[in-house]
Protein backbone atom coordinates (compact mmCIF):
# COMPACT_ATOMS: atom_id res chain seq x y z
CA UNK A 1 0.00 0.00 0.00
CA UNK A 2 1.19 3.52 -0.69
CA UNK A 3 1.55 6.24 1.91
CA UNK A 4 -1.68 8.02 1.01
CA UNK A 5 -3.72 4.82 1.30
CA UNK A 6 -2.22 4.08 4.73
CA UNK A 7 -2.88 7.61 5.97
CA UNK A 8 -6.45 7.34 4.72
CA UNK A 9 -6.97 4.14 6.70
CA UNK A 10 -5.46 5.61 9.85
CA UNK A 11 -7.69 8.65 9.53
CA UNK A 12 -10.77 6.47 9.00
CA UNK A 13 -10.07 3.89 11.71
CA UNK A 14 -8.43 6.02 14.42
CA UNK A 15 -9.13 9.67 13.55
CA UNK A 16 -5.38 9.93 13.16
CA UNK A 17 -4.80 12.88 10.82
CA UNK A 18 -1.21 13.67 9.94
CA UNK A 19 -1.93 17.41 10.12
CA UNK A 20 -3.21 17.37 13.70
CA UNK A 21 -2.07 14.12 15.37
CA UNK A 22 0.36 14.14 18.28
CA UNK A 23 1.27 10.53 18.98
CA UNK A 24 2.94 9.47 22.21
CA UNK A 25 4.89 6.22 21.93
CA UNK A 26 5.01 4.60 25.38
CA UNK A 27 7.96 2.28 25.87
CA UNK A 28 11.36 2.38 24.19
CA UNK A 29 11.95 -1.29 23.49
CA UNK A 30 11.98 -3.06 20.12
CA UNK A 31 8.30 -2.40 19.56
CA UNK A 32 8.54 1.27 20.50
CA UNK A 33 11.47 1.84 18.16
CA UNK A 34 9.65 0.10 15.30
CA UNK A 35 6.66 2.39 15.88
CA UNK A 36 8.97 5.42 15.82
CA UNK A 37 10.44 4.42 12.44
CA UNK A 38 6.94 3.80 11.09
CA UNK A 39 5.60 7.19 12.21
CA UNK A 40 8.66 8.97 10.86
CA UNK A 41 8.15 7.40 7.41
CA UNK A 42 4.57 8.67 7.41
CA UNK A 43 5.69 12.12 8.64
CA UNK A 44 3.41 11.92 11.70
CA UNK A 45 4.45 14.00 14.72
CA UNK A 46 5.36 11.93 17.77
CA UNK A 47 7.29 11.80 21.03
CA UNK A 48 8.56 8.86 23.08
CA UNK A 49 8.36 8.23 26.82
CA UNK A 50 9.83 5.45 28.97
CA UNK A 51 9.71 4.94 32.72
CA UNK A 52 13.33 3.73 32.79
CA UNK A 53 16.20 6.18 33.23
CA UNK A 54 18.16 4.74 30.29
CA UNK A 55 16.23 2.30 28.07
CA UNK A 56 18.41 -0.13 26.16
CA UNK A 57 17.42 1.26 22.74
CA UNK A 58 17.53 4.93 23.71
CA UNK A 59 20.87 5.61 22.01
CA UNK A 60 19.85 3.82 18.81
CA UNK A 61 16.74 5.97 18.46
CA UNK A 62 18.57 9.21 19.19
CA UNK A 63 21.29 8.33 16.66
CA UNK A 64 18.67 7.87 13.94
CA UNK A 65 16.27 10.66 14.93
CA UNK A 66 18.01 13.51 16.69
CA UNK A 67 14.95 15.73 16.58
CA UNK A 68 12.53 13.30 18.28
CA UNK A 69 11.53 14.30 21.83
CA UNK A 70 12.44 11.42 24.15
CA UNK A 71 11.47 11.53 27.84
CA UNK A 72 12.85 8.97 30.28
CA UNK A 73 12.82 8.30 34.00
CA UNK A 74 9.04 8.23 34.50
CA UNK A 75 5.63 8.85 32.97
CA UNK A 76 4.98 12.59 33.10
CA UNK A 77 1.20 13.13 33.03
CA UNK A 78 1.63 16.42 31.11
CA UNK A 79 2.96 14.45 28.11
CA UNK A 80 -0.16 12.31 28.00
CA UNK A 81 -2.40 15.39 28.21
CA UNK A 82 -0.77 16.80 25.07
CA UNK A 83 -1.26 13.57 23.10
CA UNK A 84 -4.09 12.80 20.70
CA UNK A 85 -3.06 9.13 20.43
CA UNK A 86 -0.93 6.69 22.44
CA UNK A 87 0.83 3.59 21.19
CA UNK A 88 1.62 1.55 24.30
CA UNK A 89 4.27 -1.15 24.00
CA UNK A 90 3.33 -4.67 25.20
CA UNK A 91 5.78 -4.48 28.09
CA UNK A 92 3.84 -1.57 29.63
CA UNK A 93 0.60 -2.32 31.46
CA UNK A 94 -2.49 -0.57 30.13
CA UNK A 95 -3.52 -0.19 33.78
CA UNK A 96 -0.83 2.40 34.47
CA UNK A 97 -2.76 5.28 36.12
CA UNK A 98 -1.42 7.89 33.73
CA UNK A 99 -2.55 5.80 30.73
CA UNK A 100 -6.00 5.18 32.18
CA UNK A 101 -6.34 8.89 32.91
CA UNK A 102 -5.43 9.76 29.33
CA UNK A 103 -7.92 7.28 27.89
CA UNK A 104 -10.67 8.65 30.13
CA UNK A 105 -9.99 12.10 28.66
CA UNK A 106 -10.41 10.95 25.08
CA UNK A 107 -6.88 10.04 24.04
CA UNK A 108 -7.09 7.20 21.50
CA UNK A 109 -5.06 4.04 22.08
CA UNK A 110 -3.76 1.89 19.27
CA UNK A 111 -1.06 -0.73 18.87
CA UNK A 112 1.70 -1.63 16.46
CA UNK A 113 -0.54 -4.50 15.30
CA UNK A 114 -3.29 -2.00 14.49
CA UNK A 115 -0.79 0.05 12.49
CA UNK A 116 0.28 -3.06 10.57
CA UNK A 117 -3.33 -3.99 9.83
CA UNK A 118 -3.89 -0.51 8.40
CA UNK A 119 -0.78 -0.74 6.24
CA UNK A 120 -0.97 -4.04 4.36
CA UNK A 121 -3.44 -5.65 1.99
CA UNK A 122 -2.01 -9.17 1.95
CA UNK A 123 -3.24 -12.13 4.06
CA UNK A 124 -2.40 -12.12 7.76
CA UNK A 125 -2.23 -15.25 9.91
CA UNK A 126 -2.58 -14.51 13.64
CA UNK A 127 -1.41 -17.09 16.16
CA UNK A 128 -1.77 -16.99 19.93
CA UNK A 129 -2.11 -19.38 22.85
CA UNK A 130 -0.50 -19.99 26.20
CA UNK A 131 1.91 -22.51 24.69
CA UNK A 132 3.22 -23.56 21.30
CA UNK A 133 2.64 -20.27 19.48
CA UNK A 134 6.32 -19.73 18.63
CA UNK A 135 6.61 -23.27 17.29
CA UNK A 136 3.46 -23.00 15.16
CA UNK A 137 4.43 -19.53 13.91
CA UNK A 138 7.90 -20.56 12.77
CA UNK A 139 6.69 -23.93 11.46
CA UNK A 140 4.04 -22.23 9.33
CA UNK A 141 6.70 -19.83 8.10
CA UNK A 142 8.84 -22.78 6.99
CA UNK A 143 5.80 -24.29 5.26
CA UNK A 144 5.28 -21.06 3.31
CA UNK A 145 8.96 -20.89 2.32
CA UNK A 146 8.89 -24.52 1.18
CA UNK A 147 5.92 -23.60 -1.01
CA UNK A 148 7.74 -20.66 -2.58
CA UNK A 149 5.69 -17.97 -0.84
CA UNK A 150 7.37 -14.68 0.10
CA UNK A 151 6.53 -14.67 3.79
CA UNK A 152 7.24 -12.32 6.71
CA UNK A 153 7.23 -13.88 10.18
CA UNK A 154 7.34 -12.01 13.49
CA UNK A 155 5.32 -10.03 16.00
CA UNK A 156 5.83 -11.25 19.56
CA UNK A 157 8.50 -13.54 18.16
CA UNK A 158 11.67 -12.07 16.66
CA UNK A 159 11.04 -9.17 14.29
CA UNK A 160 8.57 -6.47 15.47
CA UNK A 161 5.40 -6.46 13.36
CA UNK A 162 5.97 -3.08 11.73
CA UNK A 163 9.46 -4.06 10.58
CA UNK A 164 7.91 -6.87 8.52
CA UNK A 165 6.11 -4.55 6.11
CA UNK A 166 7.37 -4.85 2.54
CA UNK A 167 5.97 -4.49 -0.96
CA UNK A 168 7.26 -7.95 -1.88
CA UNK A 169 5.60 -9.77 1.04
CA UNK A 170 2.80 -12.14 0.03
CA UNK A 171 1.88 -13.46 3.48
CA UNK A 172 2.26 -12.16 7.05
CA UNK A 173 2.46 -14.65 9.93
CA UNK A 174 2.20 -13.07 13.37
CA UNK A 175 2.73 -14.53 16.81
CA UNK A 176 0.68 -12.43 19.20
CA UNK A 177 0.79 -12.30 23.00
CA UNK A 178 -2.14 -11.44 25.26
CA UNK A 179 -0.40 -8.11 25.95
CA UNK A 180 -0.45 -7.27 22.24
CA UNK A 181 -4.02 -8.42 21.78
CA UNK A 182 -5.44 -6.46 24.71
CA UNK A 183 -4.55 -3.18 22.99
CA UNK A 184 -5.43 -4.18 19.40
CA UNK A 185 -8.80 -3.41 17.82
CA UNK A 186 -8.32 -3.44 14.03
CA UNK A 187 -6.78 -6.83 13.40
CA UNK A 188 -8.93 -8.79 10.96
CA UNK A 189 -6.74 -11.76 10.19
CA UNK A 190 -7.44 -13.98 7.22
CA UNK A 191 -7.15 -16.90 9.64
CA UNK A 192 -6.45 -16.93 13.37
CA UNK A 193 -6.03 -19.46 16.14
CA UNK A 194 -5.87 -19.76 19.91
CA UNK A 195 -3.82 -22.93 20.31
CA UNK A 196 -4.63 -23.52 23.98
CA UNK A 197 -5.26 -21.81 27.30
CA UNK A 198 -3.49 -22.33 30.61
CA UNK A 199 -2.64 -20.08 33.54
CA UNK A 200 -0.13 -17.41 32.58
CA UNK A 201 0.56 -13.74 33.27
CA UNK A 202 -1.91 -13.66 36.16
CA UNK A 203 0.30 -10.98 37.69
CA UNK A 204 -0.96 -8.70 34.87
CA UNK A 205 -4.62 -9.76 34.79
CA UNK A 206 -7.49 -9.83 37.29
CA UNK A 207 -7.96 -13.57 36.73
CA UNK A 208 -8.30 -16.29 34.12
CA UNK A 209 -11.49 -14.83 32.64
CA UNK A 210 -9.67 -11.58 31.90
CA UNK A 211 -6.70 -13.44 30.38
CA UNK A 212 -8.99 -15.58 28.18
CA UNK A 213 -10.88 -12.48 27.05
CA UNK A 214 -7.66 -10.93 25.77
CA UNK A 215 -6.65 -14.10 23.93
CA UNK A 216 -10.05 -14.22 22.22
CA UNK A 217 -9.33 -10.82 20.63
CA UNK A 218 -7.25 -12.65 18.02
CA UNK A 219 -10.55 -13.70 16.43
CA UNK A 220 -11.79 -10.13 15.92
CA UNK A 221 -13.14 -9.68 12.41
CA UNK A 222 -14.59 -12.22 9.99
CA UNK A 223 -11.66 -14.50 9.08
CA UNK A 224 -11.47 -18.26 9.48
CA UNK A 225 -11.22 -19.52 13.06
CA UNK A 226 -8.91 -22.48 13.81
CA UNK A 227 -10.03 -24.06 17.08
CA UNK A 228 -8.38 -26.62 19.38
CA UNK A 229 -11.16 -29.12 20.06
CA UNK A 230 -9.18 -30.55 23.01
CA UNK A 231 -9.27 -27.30 25.00
CA UNK A 232 -12.56 -26.41 26.71
CA UNK A 233 -11.72 -22.71 27.02
CA UNK A 234 -10.85 -22.44 23.33
CA UNK A 235 -13.97 -24.38 22.28
CA UNK A 236 -16.11 -21.73 23.96
CA UNK A 237 -14.65 -19.10 21.62
CA UNK A 238 -16.11 -20.56 18.44
CA UNK A 239 -18.64 -18.48 16.55
CA UNK A 240 -21.36 -20.34 14.62
CA UNK A 241 -21.55 -17.52 12.06
CA UNK A 242 -17.88 -17.87 11.09
CA UNK A 243 -15.98 -20.35 8.94
CA UNK A 244 -14.35 -22.82 11.32
CA UNK A 245 -11.63 -25.49 11.24
CA UNK A 246 -10.88 -27.71 14.24
CA UNK A 247 -7.87 -29.78 15.27
CA UNK A 248 -7.60 -32.46 17.93
CA UNK A 249 -5.42 -35.27 19.21
CA UNK A 250 -8.25 -37.03 21.00
CA UNK A 251 -11.58 -36.06 19.44
CA UNK A 252 -13.34 -35.92 16.11
CA UNK A 253 -12.06 -32.84 14.23
CA UNK A 254 -11.19 -31.57 10.78
CA UNK A 255 -7.49 -32.13 11.47
CA UNK A 256 -6.79 -35.14 13.67
CA UNK A 257 -4.61 -38.21 14.31
CA UNK A 258 -5.65 -41.29 12.37
CA UNK A 259 -4.64 -44.76 13.57
CA UNK A 260 -4.02 -47.23 10.75
CA UNK A 261 -2.35 -50.60 10.28
CA UNK A 262 0.69 -48.67 9.03
CA UNK A 263 0.83 -46.51 12.15
CA UNK A 264 -0.43 -43.09 13.24
CA UNK A 265 -0.95 -40.30 10.71
CA UNK A 266 -1.71 -36.62 10.67
CA UNK A 267 -4.98 -36.50 8.78
CA UNK A 268 -7.61 -34.11 7.42
CA UNK A 269 -11.19 -35.36 7.33
CA UNK A 270 -9.83 -38.92 7.53
CA UNK A 271 -7.44 -38.41 4.60
CA UNK A 272 -3.87 -39.29 5.59
CA UNK A 273 -1.34 -36.46 5.22
CA UNK A 274 1.88 -37.55 6.93
CA UNK A 275 2.99 -40.34 9.25
CA UNK A 276 3.55 -39.10 12.80
CA UNK A 277 6.94 -40.80 12.90
CA UNK A 278 8.09 -38.63 9.98
CA UNK A 279 7.75 -35.45 12.06
CA UNK A 280 11.10 -33.88 12.91
CA UNK A 281 9.68 -32.35 16.13
CA UNK A 282 9.04 -34.69 19.04
CA UNK A 283 6.33 -34.97 21.66
CA UNK A 284 2.58 -35.32 21.66
CA UNK A 285 2.05 -31.57 22.00
CA UNK A 286 4.05 -31.02 18.82
CA UNK A 287 1.66 -33.32 16.97
CA UNK A 288 -1.09 -30.86 17.95
CA UNK A 289 1.12 -27.98 16.79
CA UNK A 290 1.59 -29.72 13.43
CA UNK A 291 -2.17 -30.19 13.01
CA UNK A 292 -2.77 -26.51 13.80
CA UNK A 293 -0.14 -25.43 11.27
CA UNK A 294 -1.69 -27.64 8.59
CA UNK A 295 -5.11 -26.08 9.21
CA UNK A 296 -3.74 -22.54 9.08
CA UNK A 297 -1.72 -23.30 5.96
CA UNK A 298 -4.73 -24.75 4.18
CA UNK A 299 -6.67 -21.51 4.62
CA UNK A 300 -3.92 -19.42 3.02
CA UNK A 301 -3.58 -21.92 0.16
CA UNK A 302 -0.25 -23.52 0.99
CA UNK A 303 0.22 -26.82 -0.83
CA UNK A 304 0.20 -30.12 1.00
CA UNK A 305 3.57 -31.22 -0.44
CA UNK A 306 5.20 -27.98 0.70
CA UNK A 307 3.71 -28.25 4.18
CA UNK A 308 4.78 -31.89 4.49
CA UNK A 309 8.32 -31.03 3.40
CA UNK A 310 8.53 -28.52 6.24
CA UNK A 311 7.08 -30.98 8.76
CA UNK A 312 9.76 -33.52 7.85
CA UNK A 313 12.61 -31.02 8.26
CA UNK A 314 11.56 -28.49 10.91
CA UNK A 315 13.40 -29.38 14.13
CA UNK A 316 11.85 -26.77 16.39
CA UNK A 317 13.20 -23.79 18.27
CA UNK A 318 15.99 -23.51 20.77
CA UNK A 319 14.94 -23.94 24.40
CA UNK A 320 11.69 -25.65 23.36
CA UNK A 321 12.04 -29.40 23.90
CA UNK A 322 15.56 -29.10 22.51
CA UNK A 323 17.60 -32.30 22.71
CA UNK A 324 20.98 -31.42 24.23
CA UNK A 325 22.86 -34.69 24.72
CA UNK A 326 22.75 -38.39 25.48
CA UNK A 327 25.35 -39.05 28.18
CA UNK A 328 25.80 -42.67 29.17
CA UNK A 329 22.21 -43.53 28.41
CA UNK A 330 20.71 -40.42 30.04
CA UNK A 331 18.97 -37.94 27.73
CA UNK A 332 19.12 -34.24 28.59
CA UNK A 333 16.40 -31.95 27.20
CA UNK A 334 16.24 -28.14 27.31
CA UNK A 335 12.67 -26.81 27.52
CA UNK A 336 13.52 -23.51 29.20
CA UNK A 337 10.77 -21.77 27.18
CA UNK A 338 8.24 -23.61 29.39
CA UNK A 339 7.54 -20.51 31.50
CA UNK A 340 4.11 -21.64 32.70
CA UNK A 341 2.30 -24.71 33.99
CA UNK A 342 0.66 -25.60 30.68
CA UNK A 343 3.97 -25.72 28.83
CA UNK A 344 5.58 -27.89 31.48
CA UNK A 345 2.58 -30.23 31.53
CA UNK A 346 2.71 -30.55 27.74
CA UNK A 347 6.41 -31.38 27.90
CA UNK A 348 5.89 -34.06 30.54
CA UNK A 349 2.99 -35.64 28.65
CA UNK A 350 5.16 -35.92 25.55
CA UNK A 351 7.17 -38.74 27.17
CA UNK A 352 6.16 -42.31 27.98
CA UNK A 353 6.61 -43.84 31.42
CA UNK A 354 7.81 -42.44 34.71
CA UNK A 355 11.46 -41.80 34.04
CA UNK A 356 11.87 -38.01 34.14
CA UNK A 357 14.14 -36.07 36.46
CA UNK A 358 12.49 -32.66 36.22
CA UNK A 359 14.18 -29.34 36.94
CA UNK A 360 11.51 -26.72 37.68
CA UNK A 361 11.13 -23.37 39.42
CA UNK A 362 11.70 -19.65 39.04
CA UNK A 363 9.06 -16.94 39.24
CA UNK A 364 5.60 -18.58 39.24
CA UNK A 365 3.88 -15.28 38.34
CA UNK A 366 1.04 -15.98 40.75
CA UNK A 367 0.04 -19.31 39.17
CA UNK A 368 -1.45 -22.19 41.17
CA UNK A 369 1.41 -24.69 41.05
CA UNK A 370 -0.76 -27.53 42.37
CA UNK A 371 -2.11 -27.85 38.81
CA UNK A 372 1.21 -29.51 37.94
CA UNK A 373 0.62 -32.33 40.40
CA UNK A 374 -1.19 -34.91 38.19
CA UNK A 375 1.54 -34.81 35.53
CA UNK A 376 4.30 -34.83 38.14
CA UNK A 377 2.86 -37.94 39.80
CA UNK A 378 2.42 -39.68 36.44
CA UNK A 379 5.74 -38.82 34.79
CA UNK A 380 8.36 -37.58 37.26
CA UNK A 381 10.76 -39.80 39.18
CA UNK A 382 12.49 -36.95 41.02
CA UNK A 383 11.82 -33.20 41.07
CA UNK A 384 14.67 -30.72 41.48
CA UNK A 385 13.40 -27.25 42.39
CA UNK A 386 15.22 -23.97 41.82
CA UNK A 387 14.62 -20.26 42.13
CA UNK A 388 12.33 -17.83 43.90
CA UNK A 389 9.23 -20.02 44.12
CA UNK A 390 10.91 -23.37 44.78
CA UNK A 391 9.17 -23.69 48.15
CA UNK A 392 5.80 -22.97 46.50
CA UNK A 393 6.30 -25.90 44.14
CA UNK A 394 7.49 -28.15 46.94
CA UNK A 395 4.34 -27.41 48.95
CA UNK A 396 2.14 -28.09 45.92
CA UNK A 397 3.70 -31.53 45.46
CA UNK A 398 2.46 -32.58 48.93
CA UNK A 399 5.13 -35.26 49.25
CA UNK A 400 3.72 -37.32 46.36
CA UNK A 401 6.94 -36.98 44.34
CA UNK A 402 10.49 -36.94 45.75
CA UNK A 403 11.70 -33.32 45.82
CA UNK A 404 15.23 -31.98 46.20
CA UNK A 405 15.71 -28.24 46.74
CA UNK A 406 18.88 -27.29 44.86
CA UNK A 407 18.47 -23.52 44.56
CA UNK A 408 20.42 -22.88 41.36
CA UNK A 409 20.39 -24.37 37.88
CA UNK A 410 24.08 -25.23 38.03
CA UNK A 411 23.52 -27.27 41.18
CA UNK A 412 20.46 -28.87 39.61
CA UNK A 413 22.54 -30.20 36.71
CA UNK A 414 25.20 -31.57 39.07
CA UNK A 415 22.57 -33.20 41.28
CA UNK A 416 20.78 -34.71 38.28
CA UNK A 417 24.05 -36.23 37.08
CA UNK A 418 24.54 -37.93 40.44
CA UNK A 419 21.07 -39.49 40.64
CA UNK A 420 20.34 -40.22 36.96
CA UNK A 421 20.43 -43.80 35.69
CA UNK A 422 20.36 -45.33 32.23
CA UNK A 423 16.97 -44.61 30.64
CA UNK A 424 16.30 -41.43 32.59
CA UNK A 425 15.45 -38.13 30.93
CA UNK A 426 16.70 -34.98 32.65
CA UNK A 427 14.25 -32.30 31.60
CA UNK A 428 14.56 -28.57 32.24
CA UNK A 429 10.94 -27.44 31.97
CA UNK A 430 10.60 -24.84 34.72
CA UNK A 431 6.84 -24.01 34.64
CA UNK A 432 7.98 -20.56 35.78
CA UNK A 433 9.46 -17.37 34.38
CA UNK A 434 13.21 -16.94 34.58
CA UNK A 435 13.41 -13.33 35.71
CA UNK A 436 14.23 -14.15 39.33
CA UNK A 437 17.70 -15.47 38.41
CA UNK A 438 18.16 -14.80 34.69
CA UNK A 439 17.70 -12.10 32.08
CA UNK A 440 15.26 -14.32 30.18
CA UNK A 441 14.42 -17.94 29.36
CA UNK A 442 17.11 -18.00 26.65
CA UNK A 443 19.86 -17.22 29.13
CA UNK A 444 18.48 -19.95 31.42
CA UNK A 445 18.43 -22.45 28.57
CA UNK A 446 21.93 -21.57 27.39
CA UNK A 447 23.31 -22.10 30.90
CA UNK A 448 21.58 -25.47 31.16
CA UNK A 449 22.94 -26.62 27.77
CA UNK A 450 26.48 -25.44 28.54
CA UNK A 451 26.45 -27.15 31.96
CA UNK A 452 25.23 -30.40 30.37
CA UNK A 453 27.83 -30.21 27.57
CA UNK A 454 30.50 -29.75 30.25
CA UNK A 455 29.55 -33.20 31.59
CA UNK A 456 30.52 -34.91 28.35
172 and 139 Cβ atoms separated by less than 8 Å = no
Of 400, 407, 408, 362, nearest to 381 (Cα)? 400
Q: Which of 85, 133, 256, 298 is catalytic?
A: 133
Q: What is the mean pLDDT of the chain?
A: 94
Pairing assessment for the beta strands 380-386 and 403-407 based on DSSP bridges: parallel
Distance CA 157, CA 134 (A): 7
Highest mean pLDDT among 97-101, 196-200, 365-369: 97-101
Pairing assessment for the beta strands 322-327 and 124-128 based on DSSP bridges: unpaired
Q: Which of 131, 156, 163, 196 is catalytic?
A: 156
For residue range 245-257, what is the model confidence (pLDDT) as tens digits?
999 999 999 999 9
For residue range 435-446, what is the model confidence (pLDDT) as tens digits?
999 999 999 999
- Assess whether 156 carries a catalytic annotation: yes
Worst-scoring range by mean pLDDT, 154-168, 274-288, 302-316?
274-288
Q: Which of 85, 122, 201, 319 is catalytic?
A: 201
434-448 burial, b for 16+ CB within 10 Å, e for fewer? Answer: bbebbeebeebbbbb
- Assess whether 133 carries a catalytic annotation: yes
Instruction: Write down all domains in the chain, each with its CATH number in brackets.
Output: 3-109 (3.40.50.720), 115-313 (3.40.1190.10), 322-453 (3.90.190.20)
Query: Per-residue DSSP letters for 282-295?
Result: -SHHHHHHHHHHHH
Strand partners for 326:
331
339 and 434 Cβ atoms separated by less than 8 Å = yes
147 and 306 Cβ atoms separated by less than 8 Å = yes
For residue range 29-84, what is the model confidence (pLDDT) as tens digits?
999 999 999 999 999 999 999 999 988 888 888 888 889 999 999 999 999 999 99
For residue range 380-412, what is the model confidence (pLDDT) as tens digits?
999 999 999 999 999 999 999 999 999 999 999
142-166 burial, b for 16+ CB within 10 Å, e for fewer? Answer: bbbebbebebbbbbbbeebbbbbbe
Of 442, 445, 208, 435, nearest to 342 (Cα)? 208
* Helix (H/G/I), strand (E/B), else coil: 246: strand
- Assess whether 318 carries a catalytic annotation: no
Amino acid sequence: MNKDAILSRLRSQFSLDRATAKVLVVGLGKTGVSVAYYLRQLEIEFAVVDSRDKPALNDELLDKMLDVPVFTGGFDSSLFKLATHVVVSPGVSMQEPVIQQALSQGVIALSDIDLLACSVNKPIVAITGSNGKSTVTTLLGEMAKADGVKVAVGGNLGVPALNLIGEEVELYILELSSFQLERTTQLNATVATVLNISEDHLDRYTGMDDYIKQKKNVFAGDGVMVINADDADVLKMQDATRELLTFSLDHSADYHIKQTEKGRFLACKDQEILAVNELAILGRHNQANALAALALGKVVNLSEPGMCHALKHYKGLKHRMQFVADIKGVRWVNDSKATNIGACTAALQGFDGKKIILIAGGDAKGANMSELLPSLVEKVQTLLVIGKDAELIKQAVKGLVPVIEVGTLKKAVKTAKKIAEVGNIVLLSPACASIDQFENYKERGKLFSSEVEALM
